[in-house]
A and B are shown apart, each in its own frame.
Chain A
Amino acid sequence: MTSSAKSANRPGVGWALLFVAPATVGLVALYLWPFLSTFVKSFQDVPAFGPATYTGLDNYAELAGDGEVWQAFGNSALYTVLVLLGIPLAVVLAALIEQVSRGRSVYRVLFFLPVVTLPVAVGMVWRFIYNGDFGLLNYVLSWFGVDGHYWVADPRFTIYAFAAVGVWMGLGINLIILGAGLQAIPKAVYEASALDGAGRVRQFFHITVPLLSPSIFFVTILTVIAALQMFDLIFIMLRSVNNTALADSKTIVYLFYEKAFVQFQQGYGAAIAIVLLIVIMIATALQFRLQRSWVFYG
Chain B
Amino acid sequence: MRHTWTAALAVAATLLTACSSGSTGGSTGEAAPAGEKVTLTYANWSEDQAPAMEQIATEFQKENPNITVKVQTLPWPEYWSTLQVGAAGGTAPDAFWMLADHFREYAKGGALIDLSDTVKTAGIDMTAYPKAVSDSYTYEGKIFALPKDFDTNGIWYNKALFDAAGVTYPDDTWGWQQVQDAAKKLTDPAKGVWGIAAPIDAQGGYYNTILQAGGGIIKPGGTASDFAGPEAVAGLKFWTDLQKAGVSPTLKQLSDTEAVSMFESQKVAMYFSGAYWALRFHKNADLKGKVDVAPLPQGVKRATVTSGIGNAGYAGSKHPEELKKFLVFLGGAKAAEIQAATGTVLPAYKGTQQPWLDSMPEFKLQVFIDAIDYSVPLPVAGNTAEWQGLAAQYLAPAWDGVKPVEEAAKEYQAAVDEVLAKQ
Q: Which residues from chain A sit less than 8 Å from chain B, CB to CB? A: 47-50, 118, 120-121, 123-124, 130-135, 150, 152-154, 235-236, 239-247, 257-258, 261-264
Whether the Cβ atoms of A247 and B393 lie closer than 8 Å is yes
> Does B257 lie within 8 Å of A133, measured CB to CB?
yes
The interface centre, meaning the residue of B106, B108, B252 with most chain A CB atoms within 10 A of its CB, is B252
Q: List 16 A-B contacts (CB under 8 A).
A: A48-B84, A48-B105, A48-B109, A48-B111, A49-B110, A121-B15, A132-B253, A153-B251, A153-B252, A240-B256, A241-B6, A244-B251, A244-B392, A244-B396, A246-B392, A264-B383
Alpha-carbon separation in the docked complex, A132 to B256 (Å): 7
Beta-carbon contacts of B53-97 to A below 8 Å, as 1s and 0s? Answer: 000000000000000000000000100110011011000000000
Contacts of B255 in A (CB 8 A): 150, 152-153, 240, 242-245
Task: With A49-B106, A261-B81, A264-B84 as known contacts, state yes or no: A242 contacts B256, CB within 8 Å.
Answer: no
Least Cβ–Cβ distance between A264 and chain B, in angstroms = 5
What A residues does B223 contact at CB under 8 A?
Answer: none
Whether the Cβ atoms of B84 and A261 lie closer than 8 Å is: yes
B201 at the interface (CB under 8 A from A): yes
Supplied contacts A48-B105, A132-B256, A247-B396, 16 more A-B pairs, CB within 8 Å: A47-B109, A48-B111, A118-B15, A121-B15, A123-B11, A150-B256, A152-B256, A154-B252, A241-B6, A241-B7, A241-B201, A243-B392, A244-B255, A261-B85, A263-B385, A264-B383
For the complex of A and B, 5 pairs with smallest distance between CB atoms: A49-B109, A153-B255, A247-B393, A242-B392, A150-B252
Q: Which one, B6, B77, B200, B253, contacts A133 given CB within 8 A?
A: B253
A235 to B392, CA, bound (A): 16
Distance in Å: Cβ of A240 to nearest Cβ of chain B: 5
Q: Determine the residue in chain A with the shortest Cβ distance to B315.
A: A49
Best-buried of A120, A123, A152, A257 by chain B (most CB within 10 Å):
A120
Assembly CA distance A228 to B258 (angstroms): 29
User: Do B81 and A120 have beta carbons less than 8 Å apart?
Assistant: no
Tell yes or no: B141 within 8 A of A by CB.
no
Q: Which residue of B lies closest to A150 (CB)?
A: B252
Q: Is the CB of B201 within 8 A of A262?
A: no
What interface size band does chain B fall in? 35 or more
Question: Quick check: B201 and A242 within 8 Å, CB to CB?
Answer: yes
Residues of A within 8 A of B20 (CB): none
Number of CB contacts from chain A to chain B under 8 A: 115
In the assembled complex, which residues on chain B have CB atoms less than 8 Å from the CB atom of A258? Answer: 389
A-facing mask of B230-258, CB < 8 A → 1, else 0? 00000000000000000000011111111
Does B358 lie at the interface of the complex (its beta carbon under 8 Å from any beta carbon of A)?
no
CB distance from A67 to the nearest CB of B (A): 12
In the complex, what residues of B have CB within 8 A of residue A120's CB? 11, 14-15
Q: How does the 8 Å CB contact mask read for B34-62 relative to A, with 1 for contact and 0 for none? A: 00000000000000000000000000000
Q: Which residue of B lies closest to A235 (CB)?
A: B77
- From B14, B84, B105, B258, give the contact of A240 (CB < 8 A): B258
A261-B80, A262-B80 known; A244 vs B110 contact (CB < 8 Å): no
CB <8 Å contact, B87 and A49: yes
In the assembled complex, how far is the CB of residue A61 from the closest CB belonging to chain B, in whole angstroms? 15
Q: Report Cα–Cα, A140/B204, bound state, in Å.
A: 35
The one of A48, A154, A235 in contact with B88, judged by C-beta atoms closer than 8 angstroms, is A48
User: Which chain A residue has the least Cβ–Cβ distance from B78?
Assistant: A261
Chain A residue nearest to B200 in the complex (CB): A242
> What residues of A have a CB within 8 angstroms of the CB of B110 in the complex?
49-50
**Which residues of chain A have C-beta atoms less than 8 A from B342's C-beta?**
none
Closest residue of chain A to B75 (Cβ to Cβ) is A120
A131 to B14, CA, bound (A): 21
Q: Which residues from chain A contact B389 at a C-beta distance below 8 Å?
A: 258, 262-263
Give the chain B neighbours of A262 by CB distance below 8 A.
80, 385-386, 389
Question: Is B396 a contact of A49 with CB atoms below 8 Å?
Answer: no
B11 contacts A124, C-beta separation under 8 Å: yes
Residues on A with beta carbons closer than 8 Å to the beta carbon of B259: 241
B154 within 8 A of A: no
Task: Provide the B2-25 mask, 1 if CB < 8 A to any CB of A, else 0.
Answer: 011011001100110000000000
Does B391 have its Cβ within 8 Å of any Cβ on chain A?
yes
